[in-house]
Amino acid sequence: MDLEAFLDSYGLIAISGIMLLKSIGVPIPIPADVVMLAAAARAASGKLNVLGAFVALLVALSVGGVIQFALIRGVGRGLLLRYGRFLGVTEARLDTVARRMEKSGVIGIGLAILTPGIRSVTIPACGIAGIALTRFVVGLVLGSSAFLALHFTLGLLGGSLLGQAALALSPAVVLGVIIGLLAVGFAVWYIIRRRQHPDDSARAVLAAAAGAWHEATCPVCLALGAVNRLQIDVAHTHDKHLHHGGTHVHSTL
């Protein structure tokens, strides 16, 4: 069953269910932004109510995020550390982001939640850092709202054009185009991660790319993820240079 047939059969409840499970941390192999764009495109064609779809997905994202936040403080942390590496969520990365979240307010948490490639590690990192639930929830809702608004805008603007293109092409061609675009998105994430982490193994880069692809793969998300991730890496590298520089001076003295 293709995505369109699935949405025709099960509608907004199914879309919200997928987003809820993904937000909890279940690795469903569909990028989150693809689901959001599909929902927005259907709203543009009149098959869904725009406000109803937006609210339903926001609730799913928020509830799922809170569940993952709570789980990571208990039994979930061991599972994440054991299996998260397959999606680029390593203990070292979690600890790095957790330290950043400790110093961040709701805006900082919201920006991290908004940014593709960072969201998947931000939620568990907040749980590890012991962020107050209220601060986390406000940041989560702000970031998720912005993430949804971005994709609903794209979906509403391009929904009618995509609908016309789909009518002009056979289902097999449409499916092939979708698969091709998803593959291109994964390849771009791999290139981004390889350039940012040239010393990492191919397996580590593939895992990081898979984790980012799991969140988002549209061109706007790829751009956001590349820029924000690069800034984090530069800041982290700068900190390491300062640390090494300080050590060098100390040993010289």
The H or E element spanning position 94 is helix 91-102
Q: Tokens representing 81?
A: 């550390």
Residue 63 · residue 23 · CB < 8 Å: yes
- Using CA atoms, how far residue 126 sits from 43, 131, 156, 168, 169, in Å, is 33, 5, 32, 47, 45
- Using CA atoms, how far residue 107 sits from 101, 114, 135, in Å, is 11, 10, 10
- Answer whether residue 240 shows pLDDT above 50: no
Q: What whole-number percentage of the chain has pLDDT above 70? A: 77
Residue 227 DSSP SS3:
helix
- Answer whether residue 228 shows pLDDT above 60: no
pLDDT tier at 116, thresholds 50, 70, 90: confident
Residue 33 · residue 217 · CB < 8 Å: yes
Predicted confidence at residue 7, as pLDDT, reads 62
Q: What is the DSSP letter of 66?
A: H
Side chain identity at residue 186, one-letter code: F
- Answer whether residue 56 shows pLDDT above 90: yes
Q: Give the span between the Cα atoms of 141 and 232, in whole angstroms.
A: 22
Predicted confidence at residue 235, as pLDDT, reads 39
- Answer whether residue 139 shows pLDDT above 80: yes
Predicted confidence at residue 246, as pLDDT, reads 44
